[in-house]
Amino acid sequence: MANRRKTDMTKRMMAFLVCLACVFAVYLLSTGLPHKEETTSKGAKFTVPDRPVDTAESERIYQSMCIACHGDQLQGAVGPELAHIGGTMTKEQLFKKISSGGGGMPAFQSRLTEDELVTIVTWLASHQ
């Protein structure tokens, strides 16, 4: 009888450890992956330089390249709404999405200079 109880305890301990491992795995996934995304192909940490928002220049770029898919009020059309994108994406994630595209979004790295990319990223990041 005492032996049987001991086996139950072991089972419970095992179940607890498995749960703990799962929680840890989810934690690693949620914190580890975005970091990976923000590193360059060379593995160096990539950061978008801090700049004041240049609304006029950003609107010029937006109107000529983004408006057709994201709407005149950033409300979205073919592409998703961007009016509050600064609250959900970091500047690094924005830079990567706009320069590399993907999922129906065109890549702009050959159509915009790095300077223009930083300008539009800074402007979008201010839309929270």
Task: Give me the residues that bind ligand HEC (CB under 6 A), please.
Answer: 65-66, 68-70, 78-80, 82, 85, 94, 97-98, 102-106, 108, 120, 124
Measured from the CB atom, is 92 or 108 closer to ligand HEC?
Answer: 108
Q: Where are the beta strands (DSSP E) in the chain?
A: none
> CB 100 → ligand HEC: shortest distance, Å?
10
Between 32 and 101, name the residue whose CB sits nearer to ligand HEC.
101
> How many whole angstroms separate alpha carbon 26 and alpha carbon 119?
35
Q: What Å distances lie between residue 37 and 12, 13, 40, 90, 124, CA to CA?
A: 38, 36, 8, 11, 19
Q: What's the residue count for the chain? A: 128
User: Tokens at residue 102, please?
Assistant: 């993907």
Q: Which is nearer to ligand HEC, 13 or 107 (CB)?
A: 107
Give me the least distance between CB of 104 and ligand HEC, in Å please: 3
Closest to 41 in 3D by CA, of 106, 121, 99 = 99
Residue 99, SS3 per DSSP: helix
The nearest distance, CB 8 to ligand HEC, in angstroms, is: 48
Rounded least distance, CB 36 to ligand HEC, Å: 17
**Pick 82 or 118: Cβ nearer ligand HEC:** 82
